[in-house]
Amino acid sequence: MIRFCQGFQNLQLTSEILANKEGGGNYRTIDNYTQFWLYSNYMQKIKNYINGQLIEPIDKLYIDNYNPATGKVYSLIPDSDEKDVAMATEAALAAFPQWSNTSKEVRSRILLKIAELIEQNLERLAIAESIDNGKPVALAKMIDIPRAASNFHFYATAILHYASESHAMEDTAINYTLRSPVGVAGCISPWNLPLYLFTWKIAPAIAAGNCVVAKPSEITPMTAYLLSELCMQAGLPKGVLNIVHGYGHKVGAAITAHPNIPLISFTGGTKTGAEIARIAAPMFKKISLELGGKNPNIVFSDCDFENAIKTTLHSSFANQGQICLCGSRIFIEKSIYEKFKIRFIEKVKTLKVGNPADNSSNLGAVVSKEHMDKILSYINLAKEEGGEILIGGNQVNLEGEFALGYYIEPTIIEGLAYNCRTNQEEIFGPVVTLTPFETEEEVLKYANSTQYGLSAIVWTENLTRAHRIAGLLHAGIVWINCWLVRDLRTPFGGMKNSGVGREGGFEAFNFFTEPKNVCIKLK
C-alpha cells in the first residue's frame, strides 16, 4: 500500500491500481510522488476550499493541469466561476466577525501551527511544487517551501508586536490611531513561486484579522490545495481562508469585481495588474500590485570578481529565470567585460538542464508550453535585433518520459542596444544580456531606461559608490554585493510599471488594515 499525504485525501493506492497497464506508462517501484506522477495516469482532481470544506466547483467543470517536466496532464483543477467566488465570499463574510475578534495570541498560535505543518510536510510540498511548476525539487526544498513556512511564522509573531501611534497636542487633545482589519481580502498569486507568494499574502491578511478569498495560478494550483488540508489540520476556523481555483479572467476577475471584497493583493504580470486596477479603481478598492521587472545587474571593475560571477549565475538562472527579481540585464564595466564574459560562460556551461526530480539538475522545465514559446520568441527577437547568442538559445529535448517537457538552455546574449525590445521587455526565462559600460552616468542611464523599477544588483567594493548608485537607481529593492538576501521586515515592491504599494513587515499590516484617527479633547 502506498499512502499519500492527507492532501491527496488519504489516497491509498494499491499495487493493483499502479500496476494497471490501462493507465499507460511503465510502472516501476513507486518510491515517491514524482515516480508516481510520471508513470501513472491517476487523475488527481483537486477541489476548492470553501467554508472549511474541500468541495467541487458548482458547475463541476475542470481544467487540465500539466506537469511541465513531462508535458502531460497529471491532475485536474476546478474551472470555477463567479458563483464559486460568491459562495467563498459569503463564507468569508460570515467568518469575519468572529475571526476579527479573536485575540492576536490565538490567531498567532494557529498561524504558527500552519507553519509547523508546512515544515513537517516539506518533502511532499516540495515534490508537489516541482511537479506543478517544473522547478528542481531541490530548489523547492531549499527555497519555496521553507519560505512559505517562514511567511506564516513571521506574521504569526509580527502581529503580536504591531502597534499603532498616538499624538498628544499639549493641553488641547490626544489622538490615537486604530488599525482595524478591513474585512474580506482578495489575494491573487502567480505561478513562478506558487506557495511562497501565495502565503506571502495570506499570512499577513489573516494575521491582521481579515478573512480571505484567494486564487492561486491555474497553472500551479497544487500546493495551495495541499495548504487547504494543512489549514484544516491546524484548526483554522471555517471561512477564514477560502481558495477558489480557476482561470484568472473568470475567478480572478470575479474576486476583483466583488462588491464585498474591499481590497485586492495581486502578484503577476504588469498587463494583468493594469486590468485589475481598471476594475478596482472605480470601486475605490485598496490594491497592492507586485508586478514584473527587468532588473539591472551592474558589475564594476572593483568588484569581488569570483563572488560576482557565482551570485550572478543564480540571479540569472534560478528557477529557470522565472523570478521577478532576477537580474536579466547584466552591465559590466568595460575594463573587465571580456574577463567577466569568459568566466561567466565557463560557469554557465556547467549548468545542467534536466529532470527536476534529479538532484543534479540545476534548471528544470519552464512552467508551460506557452511560456516556453514566449521565451524562445524573445531569443529569436534578440537575433533580429542584432544580438549574438554566446551560449544556449535553444529548447532542450530530453529523452523518455521527459521528451515532451518544456526545457530551455541557459542563454547569454551580447551586442544588443540598451534600449532594444529584448533589453526593455520582461522575458521571464533563462535569458540574460551582457552590455559593457564606461561611466556611472552611462550605466545609470541604461539601468533606469525601462518601464520597470523593481530591483537591482550592484557589484562594487567602493562603499561611497555603492550608496550613490543605490540612491539613483529606479528600483524598490537594491542588493549590493549579494542577491535575494531577504529580511521579511523590509518593504518589498517596486516603482513605475513594477507595481503599486509594498508588501513585507508592517507594510503588509498597514495594507491589510484600515487606520482611523480618534481625537479626544482634553478638559
Tell me which residues are annotated as active site.
290, 324
* Closest alpha carbon to 199 in 169, 171, 241: 241
Grid coordinates representing 512 are: 491589510
Give a three-class secondary structure readout of 185-238.
EEEECCCCCHHHHHHHHHHHHHHCCCEEEEECCCCCCHHHHHHHHHHHHHCCCC
Q: Minimal distance in Å, beta carbon 50 to ligand TXE? A: 17
Q: Minimal distance in Å, beta carbon 95 to ligand TXE? A: 23
> 272 or 513, CB closer to ligand TXE?
272
> 83 or 445, CB closer to ligand TXE?
83
Cβ contacts of residue 117 below 8 Å, gap of 6+? 230, 233, 234
Where along the sequence are the contacts to ligand TXE (CB under 6 A)? 188-192, 215, 217-218, 248-249, 252-253, 256, 267-269, 272, 275-276, 290-292, 324, 426, 428
> 90 or 425, CB closer to ligand TXE?
425
Q: Minimal distance in Å, beta carbon 280 to ligand TXE? A: 10
Type of residue numbered 78:
P
Q: Minimal distance in Å, beta carbon 370 to ligand TXE? A: 8
> 92 or 234, CB closer to ligand TXE?
92
Whether the CB-CB separation of 276 and 154 falls below 8 Å is answered with no
> 300 or 317, CB closer to ligand TXE?
317
Count of alpha carbons within 13 angstroms of residue 310, beta-carbon side: 6
Whether the CB-CB separation of 495 and 474 falls below 8 Å is answered with yes
* Closest alpha carbon to 493 in 502, 484, 485, 483: 502
Compute the distance between CA of residue 432 and CA of residue 487 in angstroms, rounded to an integer.
26
Compute the distance between CA of residue 357 and CA of residue 138 in angstroms, rounded to an integer.
8
Q: Minimal distance in Å, beta carbon 308 to ligand TXE? A: 24
Which long-range contacts does 472-481 make (Cβ < 8 Å, 24+ apart)? 472/444, 472/448, 473/296, 473/444, 473/447, 473/448, 474/447, 474/448, 475/295, 476/502, 477/325, 479/455, 481/303, 481/304, 481/307, 481/308
Q: Minimal distance in Å, beta carbon 173 to ligand TXE? A: 44
> 188 or 443, CB closer to ligand TXE?
188
Residue 339 to residues 236, 297, 342, Cα–Cα distance (Å): 55, 16, 5
